[in-house]
Amino acid sequence: MIPPTSNAYGRSIVQWQESWIRWAFTTPGDENPLLNPTQCGEIVEGVFFLTAAIESGLEADCMIPVGMPILVPAAGTMGVQGLHAKTPEQLLGGVQAKLDTLEFARLSIDGFNVPLSGVLRFTSTYHAHFRRGNYFDQVGSPVHGNRLVASGGIFVRLRPLSAGEHTIMTADRFSSADILDITFHMTVSA
């Protein structure tokens, strides 16, 4: 794991979190990683973004090249102005309130638990452009155009894995919700 305070791969973990949120929530249709989690993820700006669990018991097979760093969303939430809140302050407060209900988050790599204390990070508000067919359109809460968003979560940057087979598992639970988990069966090859 790369320390959360570093600027690995040219950005802070908060900036990578913002990029991941844009990728996960604004990508349209069948390409949306949250709506098609078995697609595993994709390379975004030189880092392999894994998708996130939106239900229990998901599994995904992944093929990634040797030397590719990985961004793992272990737990998180976000808010969109006009959908979840009216003001920037309400957006930030809503994200904080949701993360206050996080009961646990887990990340393991090849069966070894990765310590997550001190990894939770919050963004300020930032902009995301929601194209037609985005995640919110698909789940019945249409959002379009440039919107102010805020997010918070446990995002972990991993150094490139060695060639071969690996397993990455994430799980989280917010109070009054089911455990959300996904297991990635990773093949790292040249």
- At 56 the pLDDT is 92
pLDDT the model gives residue 66: 96
Q: In 110-179, at which residue ranges do the beta strands (DSSP E only) sit?
A: 112-113, 120-122, 126-130, 145-158, 164-174
Cα-to-chain-centroid distance, residue 113: 18
Enumerate the domain spans of the chain: 8-189
**Cα dist from 70 to 20, 26, 29, 87, whole Å:** 11, 20, 24, 33
The pTM assigned to this predicted structure is 0.93
**Average pLDDT per block of 10 residues along the chain, 190 residues long:** 68 90 93 85 94 92 95 95 95 95 96 91 94 93 95 94 97 92 94
Predicted local distance difference test score (pLDDT) of residue 1:
61
Quote the pLDDT of residue 177. 87
pLDDT given at position 176? 81
Angle at the Cα of 97 from the Cα atoms of 18 and 169, rounded to 5 degrees: 55
Check if the beta carbon of residue 63 is closer than 8 Å to that of residue 165. Answer: no
Residue 127: predicted pLDDT: 96
